[in-house]
Copies of this chain bind each other. A is one copy, B any other.
């Protein structure tokens, strides 16, 4: 299931039987030299807290317990770090939406599932999501174009569910593209305001939002 694209780091030290510590579901399990992962996690935290441009390479390296120069052994530039984070995050987001879209069940069930799990991810991993969703403009032109393409595919996955719901008579939606944008926007913005200290758990927000979105597409309960 590992969808490492830049991958090719399976030939590193450990035997094929062993697993990356933390297992398959560990957030950044696919980032392989352990030091590279530490740097990446540190970068996510720093970028989420202060923003990409306000974060220094010294801060990232410091959080990872390393010297500033160590960063450049694993990443060519600070921008490449952001790109890696963004790429992995968008792959994960797209995977979540596609899994829901490709399930069995009514369009309403699939849309609710998509929103619920998409929102839960944005709340649970809101530090990552904040970087992934709001630091797009800090990427260089080619990297940005690559990520924009992934976002179009996310849009397509949601639109497909809504289209099918309309075709099946489950949904009443006068403006499918507009509603698709609104649904995605609503979910994504969770990462901006969600706070771990708040009253609601990620799962509760997911359930609330799934209900709100079903209302938006005109499903009667």
Contact = CB atoms under 8 A, between A and B. Distances in A.
A181 interface: yes
A145 interface: no
A4 interface: no
A44 to B, nearest CB: 16
Contacts of A208: 175, 178-179, 182
Q: Is the interface of A mostly helix, strand, loop or mixed?
A: helix
Given A51-B51, A51-B138, A216-B212, A185 B178 contact: no
Interface string A38-67: 000000000000110110000000000000
A36 to B, nearest CB: 25
Contacts of A218: 215
A51 B185 contact: no
Nearest to A136: B192
A28 interface: no
A3 B215 CA distance: 39
Contacts of A212: 179, 182, 216
A192 B181 CA distance: 12
Contacts of A137: 50-51
A188 interface: yes
Interface in A187-221: 188-190, 192-193, 200, 205, 208-209, 211-212, 215-216, 218
Given A51-B137, A216-B216, A182 B178 contact: no
Interface string A130-150: 000010011000000000000
3 closest Cβ contacts across the A-B interface?
A: A53-B53, A189-B189, A53-B54
Interface of A: 50-51, 53-54, 134, 137-138, 174-175, 178-179, 181-182, 185-186, 188-190, 192-193, 200, 205, 208-209, 211-212, 215-216, 218
Given A50-B137, A181-B193, 18 more contacts: A53-B54, A174-B211, A175-B208, A178-B200, A178-B208, A179-B208, A179-B212, A182-B186, A182-B208, A182-B212, A185-B186, A185-B189, A185-B190, A185-B192, A186-B186, A189-B192, A212-B216, A215-B215
